[in-house]
Amino acid sequence: QTYFPISIAESKLQLQLALKTVEHQKGLMYRESLDDDHGMLFLFDRPDKRSFWMKNTRIPLDIGFFDSYGQLLEIHKLFPYDENTVNSRSCEVLIAVETNRGWYAANGIQVGDRIDMSSLTSALKGLNHKNISIKP
């Protein structure tokens, strides 16, 4: 599991990237825990409405939905083993970031804050992944 340093606002995170459909589907399933200031970043091919569930996921999480400019659109709580979907309100979601429950609040992250898109671009280059939907 490779993690990349990517900040949201001024708060640093170590994020594992989920880029392929199979990675999106597995997410953080079957994990026993998630280290502090760690999470998973889901990058999609194009902006759209997104939905997540917690099948086989025991860790209480928060999820932030971001647009193609890296702006945080909304934050939702995800509950362990809950198979009901949590849907974004926005249809402009390109990036989702799952963290331990309370991480966004503890770090003062609010709607309108931005994820560091240059760090994300660097991480993607390191994986030889190109994504044309990311805006400068």
Q: What is the pLDDT of residues 104-125, one digit of tens each?
A: 999 999 999 999 999 999 888 8
The per-residue pLDDT for 62 is: 98
The per-residue pLDDT for 134 is: 58
The pTM score is 0.93
74: which strand partners?
A: 65
The per-residue pLDDT for 125 is: 84
Q: Are 111 and 73 in contact (CB under 8 A)?
A: yes
Q: Which residues of the chain have pLDDT under 50?
A: 132
Q: Are 104 and 76 in contact (CB under 8 A)?
A: no
The per-residue pLDDT for 133 is: 55
Q: Would residue 122 be called left, alpha or beta, if left means φ above 0 and alpha means ψ between -120 and 50 degrees?
A: alpha
Task: Write out 23-69 in H/E/C secondary structure.
Answer: HHHHCCCCCCCCCCCEEEEEEEEEEECCEECCCCCCCCEEEEEECCC
